[in-house]
Structure 1
């Protein structure tokens, strides 16, 4: 099975086009060699997929016939991603939330006044 189709089938990408683009950009490796979208995947191959600044590592256990339900994915692949990579994902999420919660937008007048009061405390 083609590597782009395999990654789509085991739900690493939402669309097959996204999987193909990732392969073209060099974000997918099979046994430590950069894979083109048409490269064949075989049982016991080791894949490294770079997605959202994280290198996911997986081992191919079996080849699916078509796209799978989320509960069946573990039958066809084994996730061997180191825990450090997953911790990086959590740190990136916390770093984004540190500055401003999602959806709050620009500071309000009250926020601006509070910031001004806080930064101009020595002028009073």
Structure 2
């Protein structure tokens, strides 16, 4: 699954266009490498998201195509 779509589905970032902009500005890292919006992510990858002054790390647990709001917290695990 594309990184920008995963960020939106997991509700780490509210909109896909904002997720795309965050990726293109170098604020999102996948496995300690700066990632573009089109980067493919899979279960087990570690995301580092830097928004404002608060960087946080999450581990991807699942990447389903369709997610209900209640299920979005089950897609990742906080590492910080």
Alignment partner, residue 40 of structure 1:
40
Range with greater deviation from structure 2 (33-42 or 8-17) = 8-17
Distance 2:55 2:68 in 1: 22
Alignment partner, residue 15 of structure 1:
15
TM-score relative to the length of structure 2: 0.92
Distance change in 2, residues 1:67/1:18 (3 Å): farther
Cα offset, 1:66, TM superposition: 2.3
Structure 2: 5+ residue stretches without partners: none
Q: Between Structure 1 and Structure 2, whose CA radius of gyration is higher? A: 1
Structure 1: 5+ residue stretches without partners: 82-124
Cα offset, 1:6, TM superposition: 0.3
Q: Cα RMSD (Å) of the superposition?
A: 1.1
Q: Which has the higher helix share?
A: 1
Matches within 5 A, 1:1-124: 1-69=1-69, 71-81=70-80
Cα offset, 1:29, TM superposition: 0.3
TM-score relative to the length of structure 1: 0.61
Structure scoring higher RCO (CA < 8 A, sep ≥ 6) equals: 2
How many residues end up aligned between the 2 structures? 80
Runs of 4 or more, structure 1, over 2 Å off, are: none
